[in-house]
Homo-oligomer: A and B are copies of this chain.
Amino acid sequence: MKAILVDPAKNLVWSDVPDPVIKADEVLVDIHAAALNRADLLQRQGKYPPPPGWPEWMGLEVSGVIADIGPEAAQNSTWQIGDAVCALLGGGGYAQRVAVRYDLLMPIPRGLTFAEAAALPEAFATSYLNLFIEGHLQAGQTAFIPAGASGLASVAIPLAKAFGARVITSVLSEPIAASIRHLNADIVINSASEDPVAVLGREFVAGRPIHVAMDCLGGAALGQSLPFMAHGGTWILISTLAGTTTEVPLRDLLTKGIHLVGSMLRNRTPEMKARI
């Protein structure tokens, strides 16, 4: 089959690779669409190798049609050849076919195209894992989800709102703030004119601490924000776009019983991914 490989000059090259061979608990998917994630860009730069057992080429999520089913996968699921599905992958989506464990597939929601469905698994799984499994976000609590214009936030903010949480986000400019109004966040901080940490501090003083943060930025602001968390709150770091170190105020961590957690979806076990 064909797959898109990265050559030494970092060009994407339409190349021949061996066809995938499914294991007993796997399903073969004829790929119709694959999504582009920041992780793919990092992988192209050689900074983010796929976890063991996955193809070396890029692509964390795809949609397509089931072409074959292993015996164990057939026994443990209701998948049929010809079903339209989307799937969360450890890698290998930039290709014509991929072998996936049966429990990492989802049906395509009614009314969505293959292209739309290919963009669902990574953002929804990342949001659900971090907000609800790692963070135990509850209705009535406050979630801080910075970088509101990211693809991830476009899923995470409505998801948190749908579960009854209050949402604070941040963006880089007023036009971007306007562009995400439909996501319906309760507070959109324009970080060009306001320091997000100062806003979180003001909210805390007003009795509205952060219960769960899903933070792709990190950097100095992370440590500065921890004092404004609720007792028992969880700060989940999912990327370090704003800096790779932070000064943590340990008395706040201690007396509030805060959990500071590093969380990546990609390196989770297939069992954990299936649970999500």
Interface residues of A (CB under 8 A from B): 218-219, 222-223, 231, 237-240, 243-264, 267
Contact = CB atoms under 8 A, between A and B. Distances in A.
A262 B267 contact: no
A172 to B, nearest CB: 21
A255 to B, nearest CB: 7
A267 to B, nearest CB: 7
A116 B253 CA distance: 33
A237 B240 CA distance: 23
State the majority secondary structure of interface residues on A.
Answer: mixed
A260 B237 CA distance: 11
Contact of A249 (B219, B223, B244, B250): B244
A240 B254 CA distance: 8
A193 to B, nearest CB: 26
B254 A263 contact: yes
A24 to B, nearest CB: 27
A239 B254 contact: yes
Contact of A267 (B253, B257, B258): B257
A260 B253 CA distance: 9
Nearest to A238: B254
Contacts of A256: 262
A202 to B, nearest CB: 23
Given A246-B248, A249-B245, A251-B240, A260 B257 contact: no
Nearest to A219: B250
A227 to B, nearest CB: 12
A89 B248 CA distance: 30
A250 B244 CA distance: 5
14 contacts: A218-B250, A231-B267, A237-B254, A240-B250, A245-B247, A245-B250, A246-B247, A254-B263, A255-B264, A256-B262, A257-B262, A257-B267, A259-B259, A260-B261
A246 to B, nearest CB: 5
B245 A248 contact: yes
A271 B248 CA distance: 29
A223 B243 contact: no
B259 A260 contact: yes
A226 to B, nearest CB: 9
Contacts of A248: 223, 245-248, 260
